[in-house]
Amino acid sequence: MKESRFQQWQHERPGAARKGHMVTIYDIARAAGVAKSTVANVLSGKGKVSEATRQRVLYYARELGYRPNLLARNLSQHRTFTVALILPTIANPFYPEIMEAIEHILRQRDYQTLFCNTHGDFALGRQQMERLMSRWVDGYIIMGSSMDIADIAHYFRQGVPIVLCDWQENESPSDIPQVTVDFFRAGQLAAEHLLALGHRRIAVIVDEPQQHLRLEGFRTTLRQAGLELPPDRIALGDSSLESGYAAARQLLSVGQELAPPTAIFATNDWMALGAMELVLDRGLRVPEDISIVGLDDIVVSAHLRPPLTTIAIPKTRLAQEATELLLAQIEAASREQGHELPLAGEGNDGAPQRQAETAPLRLVPPSLVVRQSTAAPVSS
Amino acid sequence: MKESRFQQWQHERPGAARKGHMVTIYDIARAAGVAKSTVANVLSGKGKVSEATRQRVLYYARELGYRPNLLARNLSQHRTFTVALILPTIANPFYPEIMEAIEHILRQRDYQTLFCNTHGDFALGRQQMERLMSRWVDGYIIMGSSMDIADIAHYFRQGVPIVLCDWQENESPSDIPQVTVDFFRAGQLAAEHLLALGHRRIAVIVDEPQQHLRLEGFRTTLRQAGLELPPDRIALGDSSLESGYAAARQLLSVGQELAPPTAIFATNDWMALGAMELVLDRGLRVPEDISIVGLDDIVVSAHLRPPLTTIAIPKTRLAQEATELLLAQIEAASREQGHELPLAGEGNDGAPQRQAETAPLRLVPPSLVVRQSTAAPVSS
DNA sequence: GTGAAAGCGCTAACAT
DNA sequence: ATGTTAGCGCTTTCAC
């Protein structure tokens, strides 16, 4: 039976030796009258040990309250079984949700997750990355907008296991593995829904350029229906709720030649919430006066008044694929390096060790979730 | 000038040696023609080194693309400059918010934060703790409801730096330092507000027993106003939004001898949102038919329709105090152990090394935030 | 100022 | 089946 790397050791028994400092395998070895390596063999379940000594070692391990020192183990193994998850913020509920999903899956694979919040600050992101590179972690899952893609590419080309998650698929060099949502399709779905309801005066709130594909999918579908998206119907946000509020105000502001929109598509739920707040603050009704569509399907969206119609992102799926892609890299790296993970280059004299081939790109499909924030326009 | 532990090293220059494996101080030493220890001295800015060699070492460090190995450093220093933050869930937005605050402050102090989500599962919490105890982290900030207090006490008595955050102050052994909110007072504030508005038929949704103090504060104030809180006006939740919804349904369910309440106090915002959802689903109005008060002041609460009246918890303050209390312990431990942090006992033959004295308890005051989910009852 | 050497706790190859 | 030995990369005395 394969023993887990994280086998638990019991708490020391009441009277157990707790003098001196931490208990090491050497202490156990002495107590049990065997060699360090024998203890190591027992504890890792690897080498061959007689049942008798095995039991004796186990006994003393427990008796002395032994606890393995991961630092030492990692140092000698060149692996930490830890993965860093780098995200741009946790103020937008989308990120805690995906965090939870990724952490859960990683735990199942016996990996520890280390969260890093860059606050959307590239300099900070680089700094954190730099710190982590000091052999803290075996690989990285990097969420969109959290770091400078150039920095990431730099690390990746040195052989660091990395997977991009939730980026626009055309945003990054194609040699870095990534898993993301088909955002173009997401934009299409939103547009199709609004068009089907009969809307013609449609506006959008978007965080450019990071959400460009969502906009393009949306725009394309409108265009196919013979509708253009004039500049006055596009408001920029920064993905925050507040920016959604401000953008909506701008869209509804008077003194435009255009009639006010009957529907708004916000390229994420968090901004959509802000937009909805503004609309309601104006004394308008959702969806009667203005329909609103979001994107992400964060938990709260379903519990608002009215519940938000949105384009759902399959977060669990995203998490699974990302993890899979990353662990594959980690395993490969550890294999080809003789169980040593690459930190700097591996190879022959400065030759880049990664082929600039096309890496796997996994696009997961979004889906429309119709709730009560959208309806046919009344004035139609 | 004090050098940061996290001094950055530049990315290696284009043609820099990237062969073989990672660059160590030994490589630098060889290149610069000095001893390892001299390099170490330069890099740590500690020992005395002539400016000339200093520059030379620095030059080669950069040239070779040196990156310190934290694992090795930590192993030999017996410190990781990492703090674990253990929380019960991140589904409730309160936790991401406090996470952000704590991480921010810890970073200022040059500490890395390691988040651990126990999903409210004590067994899992213990398992994670056990893992972390293997010398991963220097100390722990443990949020309420995330672990079994008995387990925590066990570790603490072994000398592990721990601070409890956001627990009920009477919930834990008094020898563990803690910082929390005056929840009794919070309950009082909620009651005072509702009484002042003229409510008499008041109900509460509470996650017992973890939120007992909030309930007691509330109950006490009502009682002082001559109001009892009958069992049918108390519904139990588990802190989740869904449970708030269910609890509210129970409170409004027909067939009771009691008239329906005109106000509901939910002991956290997340449940309050659920309660509000149910009320609105029933076709009732908030606050006209039913007033709702929450507790936590999570970000979304302000953006709901109607915006939620709530008792605010000063999260930044909480984070500051918790960090302060923890770092003090870490410093103390590292000092008295000769720069070695205690893992198991330190002391003389099984004698518990912590006095069972009363540890610092910091209570931060909550405050009432009035928004539009509360108003005077109409039928009054 | 600089260097040699021991050690942190564990793993892993090689002897026995 | 068990023991010996040599690292992992860094810090830290303590001589020179």
Tokens of B149: 């207090």
Check residue B21 and give its pLDDT.
65
> What's the pLDDT tens digit per position in B121-133?
999 999 999 999 9
Q: Give Cβ neighbours of residue A231 (< 8 Å, ≥ 6 apart).
A: none
Which residues, 6 or more positions from B281, have their beta carbon under 8 angstroms from its beta carbon? none
Which two structure tokens, joined as six digits, stand for B364?
A: 């931060």
Closest CA to B173 of B182, B187, B162: B162
Inform me whether the C-beta atom of residue B346 falls under 8 Å from chain A C-beta atoms.
yes
pLDDT in tens, B204-220: 999 999 999 999 999 99
Q: Per the structure block, which two tokens stand in for A205? A: 């709130």
Predicted confidence at residue A81, as pLDDT, reads: 95
> Partners of B85 in the beta sheet?
B115, B141
Looking at chain A, the whole-number percentage of residues with pLDDT higher than 90 is 79
pLDDT in tens, A87-142: 999 999 999 999 999 999 999 999 999 999 999 999 999 999 999 998 789 999 99
pLDDT at A334: 84
Give A356's pLDDT tier (boundaries 50, 70, 90). low
Which band of pLDDT confidence, cut at 50, 70 and 90, is reported for residue A337? Answer: low
**CA B127 to C1' C6, whole Å:** 35
Of A19, A67, A304, the CB nearest to B345: A19
Average pLDDT, chain B: 90
Amino acid at residue number B40 = A
Q: Do A146 and A88 meet the contact criterion of CB atoms below 8 Å apart?
A: yes
pLDDT value, residue B257: 75
Distances B37 to B33, B42, B65, B80 between C-alpha atoms, Å = 12, 9, 19, 21
pLDDT at B155 > cutoff 60? yes
Beta-carbon contacts of B196 under 8 Å, excluding residues fewer than 6 positions away, are: none
Higher-confidence position of A240 and A22: A240
C-alpha torsion angle, residues B137, B141, B145, B148 (rounded to 10) = 50
Mean pLDDT for all residues in chain A: 89
pLDDT digits (tens, 9 = 90+) for B158-204: 899 999 999 999 998 889 999 999 999 999 999 999 999 999 999 99
CA distance B75 to A272: 48
Mean pLDDT, to the nearest integer, of B341-345? 46
Confidence of residue A338 (pLDDT cuts 50, 70, 90): low
Range with the poorest average pLDDT among A304-313, B158-167, B192-201, B248-257: B248-257
B69 touches strand D (CB under 7 A): yes
Residue A17 has pLDDT above 50, yes or no: no
Cα distance from A8 to chain B (closest Cα, Å)?
7
Convert the pLDDT of each residue in B73-95 to its tens digit.
999 999 999 999 999 999 999 99
Tokens at residue B289, please?
Answer: 């038919």
For B340, which residue in chain A has the nearest alpha carbon? A21
High-pLDDT (> 70) share of chain A, %: 88
| Distance of alpha carbon B192 from alpha carbon B222, whole angstroms | 8
Portion 189-248 of A in contact with B at CB < 8 A: 241
Confidence of residue A172 (pLDDT cuts 50, 70, 90): confident
Question: What distance in Å separates the CA atoms of residue B303 and residue B305, rounded to the nearest whole number?
Answer: 7
Task: Determine whether the interchain pair A18/B69 forms a contact, defined as Cβ–Cβ distance below 8 Å.
Answer: no
- Checking each nucleotide's C1' against the CA of B74, the nearest proves to be D10
Pairing of strands B234-236, B202-206: parallel
CA distances from B8 to A20, A352, A360, B317 (A): 36, 23, 32, 30
Question: What is the structure's pLDDT at A47?
Answer: 76
Please check the confidence at residue A281 and state whether its pLDDT lies above 90.
Answer: yes
List CB contacts (< 8 A) between B337 and chain A.
Answer: 21
For an interface test with B, the pick among A22, A124, A285 (most B C-beta atoms closer than 10 Å) comes out as: A22
Alpha-carbon distances, residue A302 vs A77, A296, B92 (angstroms): 46, 11, 15
pLDDT level of residue A44 (50, 70, 90 thresholds): confident
Q: Which of A135-139, A167-171, A312-316, B331-335 has the highest mean predicted lDDT (pLDDT)?
A: A312-316
Mean local confidence (pLDDT), A193-214: 97
Give the closest residue to A173 by CA, choosing from A365, A330, A357, A364. A357
Enter the DSSP assignment of A57: H
- The predicted model gives A287-293 an average pLDDT of 98
Sign (positive or negative) of CA dihedral A89, A94, A99, A100: positive
Residue pair B128/B116 in contact (Cβ under 8 Å)? The answer is yes
> Exposed e or buried b for every residue in B173-185, given b needs 16+ CB within 10 A?
beebbbbbbbbbb
- Cα separation, B223 vs B74, in Å, equals 56
Distance CA B350, CA B353 (A): 8
Q: Closest nucleotide to residue A338 (Cα to C1')?
A: C12
Helices (H), B47-160: 51-64, 70-77, 94-108, 122-133, 149-157
Q: Would the pLDDT of A7 be above 90?
A: no
Per-residue pLDDT band for A48 (boundaries 50, 70, 90) equals confident
Confidence band of B221 (pLDDT split at 50, 70, 90): very high
What six digits make up the tokens of A337? Answer: 């390096």
Per-residue model confidence as pLDDT tens digits over B15-68: 333 334 689 999 999 999 999 999 999 998 888 899 999 999 999 999 999 999
With 70 as the cut, is the pLDDT of residue A159 above it?
yes
Give the pLDDT band of residue A258 (cuts 50, 70, 90): confident
Q: How far apart are the first and last CA of chain A?
A: 68
pLDDT band for A15, please (50, 70, 90 cuts): very low
Residue A310, pLDDT > 50, answer yes
Q: Output the pLDDT for position B354.
A: 63
DSSP codes joined into one string, A258-284: SPPPSEEEESSHHHHHHHHHHHHHTT-
**pLDDT at site B337:** 64
Q: Are A102 and A113 in contact (CB under 8 A)?
A: yes
Torsion angle, alpha carbons of A175, A176, A177, A178, to 10: -120
Identify the closest residue of chain B to A102 by CA–CA distance: B117
